[in-house]
Chains A and B, each alone.
Chain A
Amino acid sequence: MTLSPQPLPLLTRMPPQGPAPCCPAAEPLGDPMAQPFVMGALDTPAGPAPRVSGQLSPADRRGTLRVRWDIGRHDYKVVPGLYALNNPTPDSPVLVSANYKLSFDHLREAARELDAWLLVLDTKGVNVWCAAGKGTMGTAELAGRVRSSGLERVVSHRRLILPQLAAPGVAAHLVKKQCGFGVVYGPVMARDLPAFLAKGHKADPAMRRVRFPLRARAVLVPVELMQALKTYLWLLPSLLLLAGLGGLVGGLGFWAGLGGAGLRAVGAMLLALVAGAVASPLLLPWLPGRAFSLKGLWPGLAGAALLWAPWPGAAWPPSAELMAWCLAVPALSSFLAMNFTGASTYTSLSGVKKEMRRAVPLQIAAAAIGLGLWLYALVAA
């Protein structure tokens, strides 16, 4: 196995300047060598393997930041196949990953000190754990990719190292039957891979457990925020318009209604968004209750309490409008926090269904009564 001569332009490949010439994609999976993070090729008995390093470029980091903010997250892919990380030999380990570029970058950065083969499966751009749940990070795709990459001609051993979280989709005993390669489950986190390999494929019990620390929850918050905004942003102009129309009916006039109850509605909605999609994920372990819908209630109630202080006019007895938001803000916060179950690392489908059967009727009732009170307050003003 020898390094192919690497022309300098390949090593210093820059993203194309200006818009790329537009043409229909000739091959759906694309040319692996044409990817900006590929630095030349490593010749193998199965053909040239695209070579990558564990040093992420500024463009890679910009991509990470972008998908962390839910921009183009569903089309952030690596061409599936076999890659060479640094300078692997036939004895080097084979690390299996998903073709979500964030997963791929995470792996090569964690393994940057190693020489290894990276076998990237076609998981449709979805991360390892989610793709395993879907079955795309699965036995058939793995065995098929081992065969199509010619891996048995590239390495001298017959061992694949998979992330532990691929296990919901991959049946290790069937992989062996289908392609002759044995599966070793590595640690949950890619950052533990060097230690796992150094200890002869042994993971400490702690490396086998998935956790959900503050840092992991915090990086998910922007996606929660963006998804909530993408789904519910239309509510804000609707509320402003309704408040304006209510002002007309109630005699205040359109702009007075929009600038008064309308802006207060937008403020209350944004407060609910922060309570449910920011505060609830961040404060998760400290919020009372186990159901996420219950955990989300507390920041929502705190948000409702915050509305009282600056509320125009006397806050006691509360006006119908204030009461409306004291119902709607906790309900919305509870709902948004409940949606965080999908991003969390420890909720079961049975549990989610159970909490939804209890919480969703209450959330809908509180939101509906809140909306009714608010509409009443608009025209009664």
Chain B
Amino acid sequence: MPGLRYLSDVVSLKAMPELCVGCGLCAQVCPQGVLELREKRVAVADRDACMECGACMTNCPSGALWVQAGVGCAQAVINSVLGRQGSACCCVAEPRSPQQGLQASLDMAPPPRKSSGCC
């Protein structure tokens, strides 16, 4: 949306087009229009719009995307620093690595993470 852009040059997103199989699911699931297919390979069209949600990485069948996925929530960062443990919130202060991200989606009961009551 015009007028709502977050900080520039901070996001951890990496695309590896050489691994891409061209399915296009990453571009479809990205809620910020960050990715597109160029000549049937993934390309980063708008890096600074990335919010590191990890949807592209989780849904890439060939490992062509990597991002230090997490939730951009200041309260969760504070809770994490203070060592507070929450249970009912979405906010995962610690970044999810691709393995953790995948693991979390594979495990029936994800390991308890530091989180907060922020949402």
Interfacial residues, chain A to chain B (CB-CB below 8 A)? 74-75, 124-127, 129-136, 138-141, 144, 164-165, 167-174, 185, 188, 205, 208-213, 223, 227, 284-286, 290-292, 338-339, 341-356
**Cβ contacts B78-119/A at 8 Å (1 or 0 each):** 000000000111111101100001101111101001011111
Set B1, B32, B77, B102: member contacting A352, Cβ < 8 A: B77
Cα A140 to Cα B107 in complex, Å, equals: 6
CB <8 Å contact, A342 and B71: yes
Residues of A within 8 A of B61 (CB): 173
CB <8 Å contact, B113 and A211: no
Set B32, B72, B95, B108: member contacting A351, Cβ < 8 A: B72
Residues of A within 8 A of B65 (CB): none
Cα A348 to Cα B91 in complex, Å, equals: 12
Residues of B within 8 A of A348 (CB): 6-7, 10-11, 50-52, 70, 72
CB <8 Å contact, A352 and B51: no
Q: B44 an interface residue at 8 Å Cβ cutoff?
A: no
User: Told that A135-B110, A341-B72, A347-B72 touch, could you supply 18 new A-B pairs with CB distance under 8 A?
Assistant: A125-B88, A133-B70, A135-B104, A167-B58, A168-B54, A173-B61, A174-B105, A188-B31, A205-B33, A212-B1, A227-B117, A284-B4, A291-B7, A342-B91, A345-B31, A346-B5, A350-B68, A352-B77
CB <8 Å contact, A342 and B72: yes
Q: B49 an interface residue at 8 Å Cβ cutoff?
A: yes
Cα A341 to Cα B6 in complex, Å, equals: 10
Closest 7 CB pairs of A and B: A130-B90, A135-B104, A342-B73, A347-B72, A349-B70, A285-B3, A74-B88
CB <8 Å contact, B31 and A133: no
Q: Knowing A138-B110, A140-B106, A352-B77, say if A342 contacts B6 (CB, 8 Å).
A: no
Q: Residue on A with the closest CB to B86?
A: A74
Set B3, B49, B53, B119: member contacting A343, Cβ < 8 A: B119
Q: B16 an interface residue at 8 Å Cβ cutoff?
A: no
- 24 A-B residue pairs with Cβ-Cβ distance under 8 Å, sorted by A, are A126-B88, A133-B54, A134-B92, A134-B110, A140-B105, A141-B108, A167-B58, A169-B58, A169-B105, A171-B58, A171-B59, A185-B28, A205-B33, A227-B118, A285-B2, A342-B116, A346-B6, A348-B6, A348-B50, A348-B70, A349-B71, A350-B12, A351-B6, A352-B74
**Minimum C-beta distance from B32 to chain A (A):** 7
CB <8 Å contact, A346 and B51: yes
**Minimum C-beta distance from A192 to chain B (A):** 13
Q: B64 an interface residue at 8 Å Cβ cutoff?
A: no
| Number of CB contacts from chain A to chain B under 8 A | 196
Cα A354 to Cα B115 in complex, Å, equals: 19
CB <8 Å contact, A346 and B119: no
**Minimum C-beta distance from B7 to chain A (A):** 4
Q: Residue on A with the closest CB to B108?
A: A140
CB <8 Å contact, A350 and B52: yes
Residues of B within 8 A of A352 (CB): 72-74, 77
**Cβ contacts B39-67/A at 8 Å (1 or 0 each):** 00000000001111111001101000000
Set B1, B104, B119: member contacting A169, Cβ < 8 A: B104
**Cβ contacts B1-31/A at 8 Å (1 or 0 each):** 1111111101110000000000001001111
**Minimum C-beta distance from B116 to chain A (A):** 8
Q: Knowing A173-B59, A348-B50, say if A339 contacts B28 (CB, 8 Å).
A: no
CB <8 Å contact, A342 and B75: yes
CB <8 Å contact, B88 and A124: yes
Residues of A within 8 A of B76 (CB): 342
Residues of B within 8 A of A126 (CB): 88-90
CB <8 Å contact, A290 and B58: no
CB <8 Å contact, A134 and B74: no
Cα A140 to Cα B117 in complex, Å, equals: 25
CB <8 Å contact, B3 and A210: no
Cα A352 to Cα B78 in complex, Å, equals: 11
Residues of B within 8 A of A132 (CB): 53, 55
Q: Residue on B with the closest CB to A70?
A: B117
**Minimum C-beta distance from B44 to chain A (A):** 14
Residues of A within 8 A of B4 (CB): 212, 284-285, 346
